Amino acid sequence: MTETIEAPGSVTAMERGSGVALWRQIADRIRQGIAEGTFEEGGRLPPEIALAERFGVNRHTVRGAIAALVQEGVLRAEQGRGTFVQHAPRISYALGRYTRFSANLQGQVRETKGRLLASAVVPADSRTAGALGLDAGASVLRLETVSEADGHPVSRATSWFDAIRFAGMEEAYAKTGSITAAFARCGIDDYMRRSTVVSARHADATVLADLSLSAGAIVLVTVAINEDPEGRAIQFSETLFAADRVELVVAEGL
């Protein structure tokens, strides 16, 4: 028989009438409990009635939360037996001076891939121009990409490049599925992270679709600048990570 996992003491009340449905708040807390180890990987969740009591809601509300997590693949419910934790642990993504997607995930996943969603040459807005050291309105190449690990989408990035210096970047990325490889084809053999700023917000509908998330999901946002060895900015990017699947590790010194 499987051991039932006992949860921690504090029964924090849910927020009612807050614009976020109770079942979603409970789903968040169960997911969080799994990430923190309160609910063990592969272990059995407490029965629905016990969860309902702990969260101070009706059993049917808990069922809504469980249904959502089953849908996501986080839980697996078996009639008569119980509900079990299926979730894979979070991926750790290192933020440092040397930051590359696939190198970053080595050892954590079997295979990584980048997919080009869209590309366009557009005039730079002031933020982009400032980041890349160009005049406002200069032509920049914008790439919309999704990066996947073992077939599951992990992040969605929008990147901007000097359209003149990096003409053909789009094609190179589409072929290789890697920014590093695409840079290499443009004569950039090495590059470094100049700055990274982290924030978080709810994913909008487009991002939900691209990252296969359910509505209300949270994304970690990094806004970063990469520079070449001479210190010239070559890429400005905003990357959205599914907060349920990824944690960002700040690499100190380096």
Partner DNA sequence: TATAGTTGTCTATAACAATAGATGAATTTG
Partner DNA sequence: CAAATTCATCTATTGTTATAGACAACTATA
Q: C-beta of 200: minimal distance to a second copy in Å? A: 4
Output 121 or 164, the one with its CB closest to a second copy: 121
The pattern of x and - marking residues 71 through 110 that bind a second copy according to CB under 8 A reads -------------------x-x--xxx-------------
Write phi, then psi, for 86 (nearest 5 degrees): -110, -15
The binding site for DNA (CB under 7 A) comprises: 1, 4, 16-19, 21-23, 45, 47-49, 56-58, 60-61, 63-64, 66, 77-83
Output 208 or 221, the one with its CB closest to DNA: 208
Paired with 23 in beta bridges are none
For residue 104, what is the DSSP state? H
> Any residues with CB less than 8 A from the CB of 10 and at least 6 apart, and which?
none
Output 66 or 157, the one with its CB closest to DNA: 66
Distance in angstroms (rounded) separating the CA atoms of residues 175 and 239 = 21
- Residues 160, 162, 163, 169: what is their CA dihedral angle, to the nearest 10 degrees? -70
**Per the structure block, which two tokens stand in for 15?**
């927020």
CA 251 remoteness from chain centre: 18
Instruction: Say if residues 138 and 123 touch (Cβ distance below 8 Å).
Output: yes
Q: Which helix (H) or strand (E) holds 39?
A: none
**Per the structure block, which two tokens stand in for 206?**
């487009």
> With binding defined as CB under 8 A, does residue 130 bind a second copy?
no
Output 188 or 243, the one with its CB closest to a second copy: 243
The pattern of x and - marking residues 184 through 223 that bind a second copy according to CB under 8 A reads ---------xxxxxxxxxx-xxx-x-----xxx-xxx---
Residues that bind a second copy (CB under 8 A): 10, 12-15, 18-21, 23-25, 27-29, 31-32, 35, 37, 68, 90, 92, 95-97, 127, 193-202, 204-206, 208, 214-216, 218-220, 243, 246-250, 252-254
